[in-house]
Amino acid sequence: MSRKPMAAPKVAVIGAGSWGTTFGKILADGGSNVTMWARRPEQALEIRESKRNSQYLPGINLPRSMTATPHLSEALEGAEQIFLSIPSQTARENLKAIRPLIAGSDAPIISLMKGVEKSSGLRMSQVIEQELQIDPARIAVASGPNLALEIAREQPTAAVISSTSRETAEAVARLASNKYFRTFVNTDVTGTEFGGVLKNLIAVAIGIVDGVGYGENTKASIITRGLVEMTDFAVAYGAEPETLQGLAGLGDLIATCQSPLSRNNTAGRLLGQGYSMKDVVKQMNQTAEGLASVAPVLQLAKEVGVDMPIVRQVKMVLDGQMNPRDIAPHLTTDDDTPKGERTQYGQAGGGGALRRALKRAFDQFRDGGRSASGD
């Protein structure tokens, strides 16, 4: 007797911007039937009928197993996993609309968002838990060096799925994997989320100095010291330092800082070229999460006594209190007092962190990902 083939999993992706649509493609190419929720009916129609999202992913053909709807209830109906790709600052109001529609569901909720809520300072997984009133074990987050257009073009990359429940992380990772997208897992949600938030702030700094015209030495110094700031901050909130030296920290930091595809890098570059914050927001076609996260991150840092000189100087530029050209000398040192390179928490920052993290990444790929117990 022939075995009946298993039905493809049905998943929902809420938000049809560049990253949401790209993740929908990842899931569809991994074997799932994907329903996107798009706020604008004309965008949903284009995805459904033409298998395109020309505004956000020009030139990309989407899989036949992807469809879209402007109706939340239709997108969520029967979904076995629900992925959220909406701006962090509007997440709460969207979650209020989602809550009654998933009342009878036990589907995992996965955050694709990389931001901190400005009003509360909460991470996105905390906002999800608060608004949906669900067990944290059902919540996962995805992060890593994930520039949407490169992945949509099926250029190989890796990411991390993190949940307090290892079982949830592995269930999500199984669906979010395909021939060009490799997924690792961990249970350090705090470190994974903060890595995705904090690297945006460092990317804005890189964009600023790039816009001013400074070169590779300046940018390498900021990336390296930025990793130290990221690690100090995340560890103070309970993260594992190794997470910040993995895909969700260093990997995402490198990709976001060096690519013109990065929205945060682009926003910083416009600031460095002399545009005001208001003009930058007006010019950006998509949300640069780093701009909204600077103030709440600095407040959170203050509450645990962590010094973040790079992020602090970025805020001064955003507020118009510092000329972008004056920022570079302040990004790598706060004063003339000689300081050690190690982080405040005893984990080697700078070159040491870079060497170990790069070696670790090389070992993982050399071993074909067999060391997937962490990211």
* ∠ CA 164-168-174, rounded to 5°: 135
Q: How many helices and strands (H and E) does the chain possess?
A: 17, 8
Q: How far apart are CA 301 and CA 309, in angstroms?
A: 11
Active site residue 199: yes
CB 83 within 8 A of CB 17: no
DSSP annotation string for 97-119:
HHGGGGTT----EEE----B-TT
The secondary structure of residue 4, as a DSSP letter, is P
Phi, psi angles (nearest 5°) of residue 43: -70, -45
- CB atoms under 10 Å from CB of 200, counted, come to 29
| Adjacency order of strands within the sheet including 81-84 | 66-69, 33-37, 10-14, 81-84, 109-111, 139-143, 157-162, 181-186
Q: Which of 96, 199, 315, 339 is catalytic?
A: 199
* ∠ CA 88-94-96, rounded to 5°: 120
Half-sphere exposure of 285 (CA within 13 A, CB side): 7
DSSP annotation string for 44-99:
HHIIIIIS--TTTSTTPPPPTTEEEES-HHHHHTT-SEEEE-S-GGGHHHHHHHHG
CB 114 within 8 A of CB 143: yes
* ∠ CA 184-132-119, rounded to 5°: 90
Task: Just list the catalytic residues.
Answer: 199
